[in-house]
Structure 1
């Protein structure tokens, strides 16, 4: 899969995850669902938040892996520069 498509999927996942988390929080604190029993309101809100966290988790893992790769490249280039200065 090309990197551009992966980046678009990750961006969509970030937006969807954050939107679901915000929606779940809004449903918890709003009076919009007062007609629904409090148990159903909590279940719906918790489901939105849980799916939001679920959608945002792969992006965090992917960003961690990218940062680890960048750090590894930086450490390799720093060790190469240190070796050239010593010789």
Structure 2
């Protein structure tokens, strides 16, 4: 896989993770269906947030590492 494809894949993971975090916040704060589900609703909203964080945080660090490595290689 080339660096350009990997960077695109990582950016897609970051965007989908961020949107899952926002979806979990929406479920927790504003959705009445999730609120009426009780504990199951809390689990659903927490799962959205945790999956979003699992997708977005490590990929940000890896993407930064790739971009720094690419910049260092191009400046030589």
TM-score normalised by the chain length of structure 2: 0.77
Counterpart of 2:36 in structure 1 is 35
Alignment gaps of 5+ in structure 2: none
Q: Which runs of 4+ in 1 moved over 3 A?
A: 66-71
* CA deviations over 1:31-70 (Å, ceiling 9, x no partner): 422331x211110000000000000123222134246647
- State the alpha-carbon separation in 2 of the partners of residues 5 and 69 from structure 1: 16
Task: Return the alpha-carbon distance in structure 1 between the equivalents of residues 5 and 67 of structure 2.
Answer: 19
1:8-87 to structure 2, matched below 5 A, reads 8-33=8-33, 34-36=35-37, 38-66=38-66, 69=69, 73=72
Do the aligned residues in 1 keep the contact of 2:10 with 2:63 (CA within 8 Å)?
no
TM-score (norm 1): 0.68
2:4 corresponding residue in structure 1:
4
| CA–CA separation in structure 2 for the residues paired with 1:16 and 1:46 | 16
